[in-house]
Amino acid sequence: MNVKMTFPVETIQKILDIGKKVLSKRAGAFDITSALLFSVKDGEVIVRATDLKNFITITTSAQAEGDGDVGISVSHLRTVLKDNDAEEVVIEATSQGAVLRAGKVKLRVSVVDGSAFPRFPEMPTESHLIKMNRVFIEEVVSRIRPFADKKSGSLGVVHFELEDEGSTVAVATDGFKLGVYRDESIEWEEGRKMFTVRVEPFDVLYSTIKEWDEEYDVEIEVADSRQAFRYGPVTIITDPPTATFPNWRRVFPKDATMIVDVFTDELLKVIRRAAEFMGADMVMGVDLSSDGSSLIVRADVPDIGYYEDFVPVTNFEGESITLAFNPKFLIDALSAMKGYDETRITFVSPHVPSVLTPKDDVERVQVLLMPVKR
């Protein structure tokens, strides 16, 4: 095996930034889960990376000579690029080692044998294609992806469904709050109406979208045993989650006791101040009530004192009720309303989720938030 590859530094940097979402930071320099596999054939270079759960393939336009497969440690590639204003990276590799050059910097390193990498999977012939767009993915990530964070105890998944009227709904939950985002522009191949993805490959997809200047359609190919995410030259193949996503529609309240419309940014500022005041006592919850003209926010911490503030209400319906919410969860819910001037909050009871939506687009974004039980 004897190959030579020449990459623009920008391309290598993009590849490294995408690969870091799955490659290990703790594995040794010659572990396959901390290296990129470069495959050269017929003048084309394909770069692959895997953590043995997610498999990334990137087709490049690098100049190449020779044929063969060689693994190069990510840490070595980052070293040759560090504080370097070179425009190109040249990799010359044999089975015994490699030389990395970028400008005046030259690094001679050992390599990972290409045969040490597993065979990268392919999609089954029986699968269904869903075409999304960049904006939809960005909206899902910014508005509801935080509810799928495993650190908060969630399943670590995002669920997608095609509704009867043609809208696509994305849903994520951690058990305390549930976020929904709808869009009408998504194309589904007939035969599939729902699927669920793990957040790890979904995050790789989003990282790819951010890194690539060119704009492509987002293609998600779904089969029972495997999923593929494609954006331009990048493909991520992974297994679907094993857990079944819960029936999220049944938790939506059918009634309302009190409905208030408030300015999103104003309420967010007030809740953040309340959270800072409460500190570790946030689990006790901050009280929300209304006198019809203001949303009253009150945080009472025993042996310390209380915080009280008022947010003007632009619309009030129903009868006044007082419910308590974890301010951290309330901040997360209000953050999903970013970009909307006013938020509508529908209060029901201490035992039923409240619903936050944009006042002027109540079906687009919805967040269910359970009150604190006292």
Q: How many domains does the chain have?
A: 3
Rounded to the nearest integer, the mean pLDDT of the chain is 93
Q: Do 230 and 324 reside in the same domain of the chain?
A: no
Shortest CA distance to 38 belongs to which of 96, 81, 98? 98
Which element (helix H / strand E) includes 332?
A: helix 327-335
Over residues 286-308, the pLDDT tens digits come to 999 999 999 999 999 888 899 99
What region does 156 belong to: left with phi over 0, alpha with psi -120 to 50, or beta?
left
Indicate the residue among 249, 268, 287 that finishes a domain.
Answer: 249
For residues 13-26, give the mean pLDDT. Answer: 83
Which CA distances in Å does 248 have to 37, 222, 354?
41, 21, 14
The pLDDT score that the predictor gives to residue 153 is 64
Judge contact between 217 and 1, C-beta under 8 A: no
Instruction: Classify residue 89: in a domain, yes or no.
Output: yes
Indicate if 107 and 198 belong to the same structural domain: no
Position 1 confidence tier, pLDDT thresholds 50, 70, 90: confident
Residues 296 and 226 in one domain: no
Per-residue tokens: 173: 């939950």
Q: In this structure, are residues 230 and 209 in contact, taking their beta carbons and an 8 Å threshold? A: no
Q: Quick one: average pLDDT of 157-167?
A: 96
What 3-state DSSP class applies to 137? helix
Q: Are residues 279 and 169 in the same domain?
A: no
- 70 and 153 in one domain? no
User: From CA 33, how far away is CA 263, in angstroms rounded?
Assistant: 47
Q: Which of 116, 150, 173 is the last residue of a domain?
A: 116
Looking at beta carbons, which pairs linking 287-290 to residues 24 or more positions away fall under 8 Å? 287/322, 287/323, 287/324, 288/322, 288/323, 288/324, 288/325, 288/345, 288/347, 289/320, 289/321, 289/322, 289/323, 290/258, 290/260, 290/316, 290/320
What is the predicted pLDDT for the residue at 283? Answer: 84
Q: Tell whether 88 is covered by a domain.
A: yes
Range from 130-134, 135-139, 173-177, 341-345 carrying the lowest mean pLDDT? 173-177
pLDDT tens-digit readout, 70-92:
999 999 999 999 999 999 999 99
Beta bridge partners of 17: none
Look up residue 345 and give its two tokens.
């909050």
For 367, the 3-state DSSP assignment is strand
202 and 274 inside one domain:
no
Q: Which of 66, 87, 116 is the last residue of a domain?
A: 116
The residue type at 26: R
Domain contains 123: no
Identity of residue 358: P
206 lies in a domain? yes
CA distance 60 to 233: 7
- Cβ proximity of 337 and 115 under 8 Å: no
Q: What is the CATH number of the domain that holds 287?
A: 3.10.150.10
Q: What angle do CA 318, 320, 323 make, to 5 degrees?
A: 120
Residues 139, 206: Cα–Cα separation, whole Å = 11
Note whether 260 and 203 are same-domain residues: no
Output the pTM of the full model. 0.91
- What is the pLDDT at residue 21? 83
* pLDDT value at 53 more than 70: yes
Same domain, 245 and 335: no
In a domain, 122, yes or no: no
Q: Is the domain of 243 the same as that of 270?
A: no
* pLDDT reported for residue 211: 86
Residue 271's nearest CA partner among 340, 343, 321 is: 343
Assigned domain for 121 exists: no
Q: Would you say residue 207 lies in a domain?
A: yes
Same domain, 140 and 202: yes
Q: Does the residue 196 lie in any domain? A: yes
pLDDT-derived band at 26 (thresholds 50, 70, 90) equals low
The pLDDT, as a whole number, for residue 280 is 82
**Structural domain for 91, as ranges:** 2-116
Residue 156 and residue 109 share a domain: no
Q: Which helix (H) or strand (E) holds 368?
A: strand 365-369
Same domain (yes/no): 260, 212: no
Q: How many whole angstroms separate alpha carbon 60 and alpha carbon 41? A: 12
